[in-house]
Structure 1
Amino acid sequence: MDTTPNPARWWALAALVMSTLAVGLDATVLSVALPTLATDLHASTSQLQWFVDSYNLVLAAVLLPVGLLGDRFGHKRFLLGALVLFGVASALCAYSGSAEVLITGRVLLALGAAALMTLPAAILPRLFGEAERSRALTAWMTAMFASFPLGPIVGGLLLDHFWWGSVFLINVPVVVVAVTAVASLVPESRSPQPVRLDVGGLTLFAGALLALTFGLIEGGERGWSDGVVLAALVGFPLLLAGFALRQRVQLRRLVAGQSPLIDLSIFRLPGFAWGTALGVISTFAMFGMLFATPQYFQNVLGHDALGTGVRLLPMIGGLLVGGRLGRTLAERFGAKIVAAKGFSLMAVAMVIAATTDLDDGYGLAATWLAVFGLGLGFGLPTAMDAALGGIPKDRSGLGSGLLMSLRNVGGAIGVAVLGAVLNAGYRGAVDGDLARLGLDGPARAAVQDGPATGLAVARATGSPELVDAVRSAFVHGSDAMYLVCAAVALLGAVIAVALLPARTTTPEATPAETESAHDVVPA
């Protein structure tokens, strides 16, 4: 292996960071454009939901095979194709004339975004040695997570000055620059092992993810006793068990040109297994926090989308500081200590957030957001580095795809579970006030649906008491949700202390690759 550093590696990193930033912005910038889309495209409520869900579901389903396909066809080649697809899909979304076309564009965006989220994690370990790898991964992941709260800021600015399509069109110049840089600066790499996509395994895996996501989201809407919801939740473990069984069978029948979608033995590597678990936990807590906090800023403190995005910046500041300090501390004290400190800080931040009262201003939120970002900067890059550093280089695409897929599932579950806690707390608190105020019929149902519709009813009826009731109920529900986030973050701290290796070294081969010959059955 050539150990000479690529002199253009930092420019290549900049190109990967730019493309990742575009993907992250696209994930959140749409939220501020939904009211405009409802008017301009005559979109129904269900179509607005599909604008968001079509992207998330496709992304979760294809993250894993994208890593495997990158291993097969070449990480650089596949990344260039994904960039082109992402640019074309962005233009299609920008000039959509109907809701159906926009949904199609969002599906294509997710296909390209999956590769842009996964393949850099496979390319960076090849560009950077062990001494620089953590720094490069921190820069890449900082761009990814900084883009989430920056999305509403960028979207608000664009919608104030241009038409709604501009929130998608901004991706096109980024793609042009990234394609040029990747084509000229990034070396090609692929797995020397011949691989073939396991379509049956992919179907079972995607079906399991879809069943779990659908069941959790629709359970909060339709009720947990709904037949379709129950079928999805029952189907999830069955599909997952079928998938695991298929992977074990495929591994026992491994031949040249064929491989399982997931080499389950990769989870025997403690760095990968527990680094991935911590990545899932951090994403669970982060996405749940980002689901509730913008609503608090808008529905309780009364800020618009642009003001909300600006007020999330303390988290970005904490993330930047934590990422930089965490890398230095991990080199000195080891990943175990730094990750544990990071998750502990996240738990402390969520406990502080859970003390929020209706009369509290932005100062309290800014404080715990900064602490949360600091903990996230300590914990997440360290966990990711432990996971990616714990797998062989020739399986980096598969490992990074699995890591990103599981983290995406963690985020989806976080929004579903923590959103359910928030809604249960909100509805339980607001019901008593509705009975006291004598509000019945459709107006009562609208208030119970959520704080946004509740405030609309309160303003329409001219009831300041109802305004206070809705805001107070939302704070009550979000406080309960933040406590659950704190418990999850504390679990991460325990896992880091007890199970994460202090330092991770890259193995030469996965356990599957070192099995004896009698375990491999010819075709």
Structure 2
Amino acid sequence: MATAEAAPRIPEAVHRKRWAILTVLIFSLLVVVLDNSILNVAMKTIATPAPTGLGASQSELEWAINSYTLVFAGLLFTAGLLGDRYGRKKSLLAGMLVFGLASLACAYSASSGELIAWRAVMGLGGAFVMPATLAIIMNVFERDEQPKAIGIWAGAVGLAIAIGPITGGVLLEHFWWGSVFLVNVPIIAAALVAMVILVPDSRDPSPGRLDPVGVLLSIAGLVLLVYGVIKGGQLADFAATEVWTTMFGGAALLALFVAYERRSDHPALDMGYFKNPRFSAAVGTIGLVFFGLMGVTFFMVFYTQSLRGYSALESGLLMLPLAVAQMIFAPRARLMVDRFGAKAVCTVSLLVIAASFAGFLGLDADTPIWVLEVLFFFMGAAMAHVMPPVTVVIMQSLPREKAGSGSAVNNTFRQVGGALGVAVLGSLMSTVYRDGVRDELARTSLPADVQHTAGESIEATRGAAERLGESGKAIVGPANDAFVDAMHITSIAGGAVVLLAAIVTAIWLPGKPAPADGAGGQEDTAKRENAPARP
């Protein structure tokens, strides 16, 4: 009876178009993920001095990623609430429009600072897109079809990962670096038209008030914390006053944010959600796995291009196994969960990801490239069996009316985990690399300040070697060795974080329910979902 009563919640006209609506929503997802995967391939080009690139330093490259991520993550709570309050379709359309205009501005940035600033504006647009897409999916699909729809939604990430690096490589071979942002514009234009025609609007009938204090605390805390981590790697000194004070200040503001949200009657982030151990475990898993994944994959473009000598297009093609595996397995992950339960599937998959990171220890300047391809395939297949199940656990833990804020929490932990992963593991890699090349750079005729800049990344060292001419060739070999050592240590750190995620899922994620318990639990959830909508 519960299922029959719940069915009218989705109008028949919308229900019939649900798969077309999902297709349109995937376009918005493709744009957001496509942009970041393209940017990863363009990193080396952007780091190249003008006129080819912008001459961005290692820390500027990290901020080109994290300026987007910090604004995105900081505004997700409010964006989800605004979508729930005023309509998810309106939120989606506004976010796509801002994202498109900011992409256009990024393409014509004249400096690294401009690029970082416009990337932050892109984050503003993305913050309104991501919660709306998942919330709309939860509102146009019935509960029994939601895992399949979310699996396809997650599989689209794999498609974007595949298309992004290849598209970026083709563009960089024929056009200037800004073309990797300009490509977003026609996709967004087509998606906006389709959304206006097909996507229905939905909202929470009992929305909460906005929480500007909570939003400001979360943004300020995240910015200070990540800035301190990145600055520590840049200075190679985490004991520096500028570093530890900003990190401590950021952590203190985030603690204040949590305390404030717990006492607020209209929180941006409802701390009551986390009383459910399944919900907490799922969002924690997302944060941890993206911490390791984003932090480790950040250096892979430098491994394939700077160390191995592949072009941007070839580097993009090397990412295909990672993407194809996600495209193949993500839509079918629900079948494994039905058979073995979310706990077993996610735990084993996270162990596979950790093992893949450990496999990077076997990579050096002469390793056959097929080894990297095999590692990428296993990583992609494992990620395909983590993201859909944990996303389903998160979204089905909340009433349908709260889908926007639930989606915001899901995406916030993913983005914050990724941002901290890039910052922490990127700084770790930079610190280890600098230690490895310091003595070699000290033997050169470079001034002390130039030596410091040249030791920040392998690209910076290679640039210094070129300026030194014949004598600079002596530092290329040691620089390559230092990069490999730094990559190995970073991989170990990333693998340890993913192992922690596996422990979390093994303890708290739901196992395979007995048939009777599953039926009863679904009926209870249906009743809970219906409750907020009743007067």
TM-score, L = length of structure 2: 0.86
Unaligned runs of 5+ in 2: 1-5, 513-520
Judge conservation of contact 2:47–2:53 (CA < 8 Å) in 1. no
Q: Partner amino acid for 1:477?
A: A
Does residue 151 of structure 2 align to residue 142 of structure 1? no
Are residues 59 and 339 of structure 1, via their aligned partners in 2, closer, same or farther at CA, if it must alter by over 3 Å?
Answer: same
Among candidates 246, 258, 281, match of residue 260 of structure 2: 246
> Following TM superposition, by how much is the alpha carbon of 1:509 offset from its aligned partner in structure 2, in angstroms?
4.8
Structure 2 Cα separation of the partners of residues 98 and 356 of structure 1: 34
Q: Which residue of 2 aligns with 1:486?
A: 495
Structure 2 Cα separation of the partners of residues 99 and 367 of structure 1: 35
Are residues 48 and 428 of structure 1, via their aligned partners in 2, closer, same or farther at CA, if it must alter by over 3 Å?
Answer: closer
Judge conservation of contact 1:38–1:44 (CA < 8 Å) in 2. no
Judge conservation of contact 2:103–2:182 (CA < 8 Å) in 1. yes
**How many residues end up aligned between the 2 structures?**
505
> Following TM superposition, by how much is the alpha carbon of 1:431 offset from its aligned partner in structure 2, in angstroms?
3.9
1:350-407, CA deviations, whole angstroms, 9 ceiling, x for partnerless residues?
1111222332121211111111111111112211221112111111111111221121
Judge conservation of contact 2:104–2:181 (CA < 8 Å) in 1. yes
Are residues 221 and 446 of structure 1, via their aligned partners in 2, closer, same or farther at CA, if it must alter by over 3 Å?
Answer: closer
Does residue 413 of structure 2 align to residue 392 of structure 1? no
Does residue 379 of structure 2 align to residue 365 of structure 1? no
1:102-154, CA deviations, whole angstroms, 9 ceiling, x for partnerless residues?
55543332211111222111111112223321222122223235434643322
Does residue 301 of structure 2 align to residue 287 of structure 1? no
Q: Which residue of 2 aligns with 1:229?
A: 243
Secondary structure of the residue aligned to 2:262 is helix
Q: Which residue of 2 aligns with 1:27?
A: 36
1:397-445, CA deviations, whole angstroms, 9 ceiling, x for partnerless residues?
111112211211100111112112222332333345557x667645644
Identity percentage of aligned residues: 32
Among candidates 282, 289, 293, match of residue 275 of structure 1: 282
Secondary structure of the residue aligned to 1:218 is helix
Deviates more, 1:448-457 or 1:161-170: 161-170
Secondary structure of the residue aligned to 2:15 is coil
Q: Partner amino acid for 2:394?
A: A
Q: Note the aligned Cα RMSD (angstroms).
A: 2.9
1:452-497, CA deviations, whole angstroms, 9 ceiling, x for partnerless residues?
1222334433555532211111111111111112222222222211
Among candidates 469, 474, 484, match of residue 475 of structure 1: 484
> Following TM superposition, by how much is the alpha carbon of 1:66 offset from its aligned partner in structure 2, in angstroms?
0.6
Unaligned runs of 5+ in 1: 252-258, 514-523
Are residues 202 and 96 of structure 1, via their aligned partners in 2, closer, same or farther at CA, if it must alter by over 3 Å?
Answer: same
Are residues 484 and 470 of structure 1, via their aligned partners in 2, closer, same or farther at CA, if it must alter by over 3 Å?
Answer: same
Judge conservation of contact 2:34–2:164 (CA < 8 Å) in 1. yes
Q: Which residue of 2 aligns with 1:499?
A: 508
TM-score, L = length of structure 1: 0.88
Among candidates 69, 72, 76, match of residue 56 of structure 1: 69
Judge conservation of contact 1:94–1:164 (CA < 8 Å) in 2. yes
Among candidates 351, 357, 377, match of residue 358 of structure 2: 351
Q: Partner amino acid for 1:34?
A: I
Q: Which residue of 2 aligns with 1:182?
A: 195
Secondary structure of the residue aligned to 1:6 is helix
> Following TM superposition, by how much is the alpha carbon of 1:248 offset from its aligned partner in structure 2, in angstroms?
2.2
Secondary structure of the residue aligned to 2:325 is helix
Q: Which residue of 2 aligns with 1:169?
A: 182
Among candidates 139, 149, 166, match of residue 126 of structure 1: 139
Q: Partner amino acid for 2:254?
A: L
Q: Which residue of 2 aligns with 1:39?
A: 51
Secondary structure of the residue aligned to 1:461 is helix
Structure 2 Cα separation of the partners of residues 97 and 484 of structure 1: 36
Are residues 42 and 476 of structure 1, via their aligned partners in 2, closer, same or farther at CA, if it must alter by over 3 Å?
Answer: closer
Does residue 23 of structure 2 align to residue 11 of structure 1? no
Judge conservation of contact 1:41–1:98 (CA < 8 Å) in 2. no
Q: Which residue of 2 aligns with 1:517?
A: none
Deviates more, 1:200-209 or 1:44-53: 44-53
Are residues 365 and 272 of structure 1, via their aligned partners in 2, closer, same or farther at CA, if it must alter by over 3 Å?
Answer: same
